Amino acid sequence: MDVCAALVQAAKRRSLTDSGEDRDYARVAIQTDQPIAVMKSADWHFGGMDVDYAALLQHVRFLLDTPGFYLQLFGDDLNLMIMHRTASTRRDIFTPEEQIAWLESFVHETVERGKLISMGWGNHSDEFTERNAGFGIVKLIVNGRVPYFRGLGYLDLVVGDGDDAPTYSMAFAHKTRFNSFMNPLHGNKRMEQMHPHLFGERPIASEYITAHTHSPAFSTEGMVPSQRRHYIKCGTFKTDCTYSQRYFGQGRIGVPTVVYMPDRKESICFPTPFEAYRYIHGEDWEG
């Protein structure tokens, strides 16, 4: 075998398999002269019997009905208990086909309305289907319509009009290898501390976002708005889980929402989208 010729052929094959659908970086621009808000959410576990569907419906309706609000999803959108234990599958009240069909409809509608900014992998969604079928189902559903992140992700969100519109950088993952039962934001802080190792030469982000543990939390550091940094842990809608009750305590609903200014580098994080709405509009959302 001609060693160099084989390497040339390998490089050609590699280029043909690079569809560009797996991301570790993306840039998204929203042209506006008004403040916007982005809901940070994960662990919906649609299809599970232990999900608060009334609360999930409230948040989805809010997203679809409210101008200027957008969504990022950080994994485990579906429950998909496709595992080797029969007891696990009994916790699903929708079949895998029904779960996938619902997520396809949700992605289609939010993309059509310009509401969905990005999606990412999760251990219940893509990891389960990768393990059992050889492909990630969420990646397949997204199909390049919005950025899909296969692991650690970094996104630059540009908000405003013109060349001087502020850029808000965020680094995230569904889960990290850094966890503390006592401090839900431990992994986020470790991501920042290990930023050069995890994200290379990209600038220190203004947000570090994680999910997976079903324990929502956030903190903000930095007195100067342009240097402000948010550490965000997404919550869940899976709030009546037997496994969690045995080992961790129940998960809690939590959709931290960040408001971004278009005319200056300034962002503010709120525990809920409804509080962000009150901040922007000066009144409660009537949903």
pLDDT of amino acid 187: 93
For 59-76, the pLDDT digits (tens) are: 999 999 999 999 999 999
Backbone angles phi, psi at 253, to 5 degrees: -65, 135
What's the gap between Cα 8 and its chain centre?
38
What's this model's pTM, rounded to 2 decimal places?
0.90
The per-type count for the chain, helices as H runs and strands as E runs, is 10, 11
200-217 burial, b at 16+ Cβ within 10 Å, e below that, comes to eeeeebbbbbbbbbbbbb
**258 and 38 Cβ atoms separated by less than 8 Å:** yes
pLDDT of amino acid 89: 53
Average pLDDT of the chain, as a whole number: 89
pLDDT of amino acid 10: 87
Show the low-confidence residues of the chain (pLDDT under 70).
1, 16-22, 82-90, 127, 129-135
Structure tokens at 181: 């039962």
Sort strands 148-159 and 36-41 into parallel, antiparallel or unpaired.
unpaired
pLDDT of amino acid 132: 62
pLDDT of amino acid 87: 47
pLDDT of amino acid 130: 67
Structure tokens at 113: 């309305």
Report all structural domains of the chain as residue ranges with CATH numbers, in order of start: 21-281 (3.60.21)
Nearest to 114 by CA among 137, 145, 74, 150: 145
pLDDT of amino acid 245: 78
pLDDT of amino acid 123: 82
